[in-house]
Structure 1
Amino acid sequence: MTTLSALASLPQEWQLWINQNLARACTPGSMAEVMTRDGRFDQHLARAAIEEARRARFPNLPRLQSLPEVDTSANTIVTPDRTVQVLLTLKSPRIVLLGNVLSDEECDALVAYSEQRMLRSPVVSDAEGKNEINAYRTSRGAMLQRGESELVERIEARLAALTRWPAERGEGLQVLRYESGNEYRPHFDWFNPDLPGPRKHMERGGQRVATIVMYLSEVEQGGATSFPNIGLQVQPKKGSAVFFANTDVYGNPDQQTLHAGEPVVAGRKMIATKWLRAQTYI
């Protein structure tokens, strides 16, 4: 019995469409999104077929990497325990704004669970990879272990379903509190592989390939997650989340993902951040 390749299993018109769009220099990600729209093709089949055609046309190009991805082919995403809304999508950089990721009760429970563990939030030093306090990050936070409680495990399983990325390929949740005036100035979440400190952190699970920021509270004024290079601001909305890929489809750090936690002007902002790694995080 002969097994067809991913590309050969597609109708002829779609094989032609893939090759025509590769010739036009369309990105694999945008092509896959068209192919999966309205459930036309499975995302994994679409990506495999595009990569197969791409390798045949450009044999010397680097291979695409498997990366976390949120399926935005429909306006809702049904996970095993919750239906999540797709509110906004960008293709480059890959950013997806999601609604109804957490219930109000889950937000409140996660805040209460973490409140007594809050310490000043550190950053990774470029030289040695140590956690250090820096004036450009003034929040307080609690670093949770993967699966350390039923609540944490449930949220992590939901995020794994949303991103099609195993829970073990992620760091533990980081719950953060921003009081009035607190901020996190523009920064990247990906590790710079040319610097010794970040390289040390990459030994524990590779690159931070994607980020999920979940909003656990309403904020009276300020506190947006901003992407200054593309002019985008995401306003905090309790229960919603923003997903963004930190690398391109070849695993290279994406300079467009520069982002910031804008200063809180009034009220308090509570968020939970999940960093997804290229390999199992240890």
Structure 2
Amino acid sequence: MKFIFGILSFVTVGLIIGSVSQLAFYDNWKTHMTFHRHIVVINIEMFVLPCIPSLKNDKEAEILRPGYVKPEVLSWSPRIILLRNFLSMEECEYLKALGYPHLQNSRVIDDKTGKGVDTKRRTSSGMFLSSKDRKHPMVQAIERRISIYAQVPVENGEPMQILRYEKNQYYELHLDYFSDTYDLKNNGQRIATMLMYLSDNVEGGETYFPKGGSDECNCGGKIVKGLSVKPVKGNAVLFWSMGLSGQ
């Protein structure tokens, strides 16, 4: 039986702006890094190439996976961005190995108490990364990458959650922003979600956005209106539950 692994990282406080434009700027910088200055010395033209630091020794650039991550805007309203090759295959396998021994029945947060409760609306299994897990260099690199692409500080994010969906398991339609007073008071608003896929060659398992457009898409073997993202190992989808105005 094939499993579908997924990992959620919920981004909490702050406004998210310019993630796509930042990526476009970075790509443009990379494309035009071999520019020259025009210098005239005694009627002899000389071309001087500036000294550009090598990306091989730039740890911050390595975290971004330049040349691998390919962003694609799927929808502007709601804002949904697909990030192809966001994770390396090594990162996918490490996260699966990290989470597999600790999986438990997935829960939802009770609006009144803020505690996790069992529900038939969510039938997957999962676990949250511990503070010890988050100290691993590979996990820190992923969290930093999420922060840069989402334009939200690492410390404003919830711990990553590793999820597994087996055959016929699901999470029913739901909202990722908070409407209860407990979460708003104790945790702040959740404004965006990064969902990363750790498995490939699966049947079903689409993430479905019913308001992502008027086109037809496949979700759970059914043709429906909206937008769906199929699990592809290493890909990620970044979507916002709030606008720039905070609504």
TM-score, L = length of structure 2: 0.69
Q: Structure 1: any 5+ residue segments left out of the alignment?
A: 1-64, 193-197, 253-282
Matching of residue 250 in structure 1 with residue 245 in structure 2: yes
CA distance in 1, matches of 2:197, 2:26: 19
CA distance in 1, matches of 2:142, 2:115: 28
Runs of 4+ in 1 over 3 A off after TM superposition: 75-79
Query: For each residue in 1:143-200, what CA deviation from the matched residue of structure 2 results, as whole angstroms up to 9, or x when unmatched?
Result: 11352322211110111111121100000000000011110010011001xxxxx321
Amino acid at match of 1:71: V
Matching of residue 135 in structure 1 with residue 117 in structure 2: no
For residue 248 of structure 1, report the CA deviation from its aligned partner. 1.4
TM-score, L = length of structure 1: 0.61
Q: Which residue of 2 aligns with 1:185?
A: 172
Query: Contact conserved, 1:94 with 1:244, CA < 8 A, in 2?
Result: yes
CA distance in 2, matches of 1:204, 1:68: 24
Q: Which residue of 2 aligns with 1:71?
A: 20
Which of 211, 232, 236 is 1:229 aligned to? 211
CA distance in 2, matches of 1:165, 1:149: 20
Amino acid at match of 1:156: E
For residue 69 of structure 1, report the CA deviation from its aligned partner. 4.8
Q: Percent of aligned pairs with the same residue?
A: 37
Q: Structure 2: any 5+ residue segments left out of the alignment?
A: 1-13, 31-59, 213-225
Which of 181, 189, 197 is 1:207 aligned to? 189
SS of 1:200's equivalent?
A: helix
Q: Does 87-96 or 183-192 show the bigger shift?
A: 87-96
Q: Which residue of 1 aligns with 2:91?
A: 106
CA distance in 1, matches of 2:127, 2:201: 20
CA distance in 1, matches of 2:136, 2:79: 31
SS of 1:145's equivalent?
A: coil
For residue 68 of structure 1, report the CA deviation from its aligned partner. 5.2
In structure 2, the CA distance between the partners of 1:219 and 1:201, relative to structure 1 (3 Å rule), is farther
Q: Which residue of 1 aligns with 2:221?
A: none
Matching of residue 125 in structure 1 with residue 110 in structure 2: yes
Which of 236, 240, 247 is 1:241 aligned to? 236
Amino acid at match of 1:174: Q
Structure whose alpha-carbon radius of gyration is higher: 2
Matching of residue 148 in structure 1 with residue 135 in structure 2: yes
Amino acid at match of 1:151: M
CA distance in 1, matches of 2:199, 2:129: 19
CA distance in 1, matches of 2:16, 2:186: 17
CA distance in 2, matches of 1:167, 1:141: 22
CA RMSD of aligned residues (A): 2.1
Q: Which has the higher contact order (CA 8 A, sep 6+)?
A: 2
Amino acid at match of 1:158: R
In structure 2, the CA distance between the partners of 1:90 and 1:229, relative to structure 1 (3 Å rule), is closer
In structure 2, the CA distance between the partners of 1:68 and 1:130, relative to structure 1 (3 Å rule), is farther
- The count of residues paired between Structure 1 and Structure 2 equals 183
Query: Contact conserved, 1:102 with 1:240, CA < 8 A, in 2?
Result: yes
CA distance in 2, matches of 1:153, 1:69: 23
Which of 167, 172, 181 is 2:154 aligned to? 167
Query: Contact conserved, 1:191 with 1:208, CA < 8 A, in 2?
Result: yes
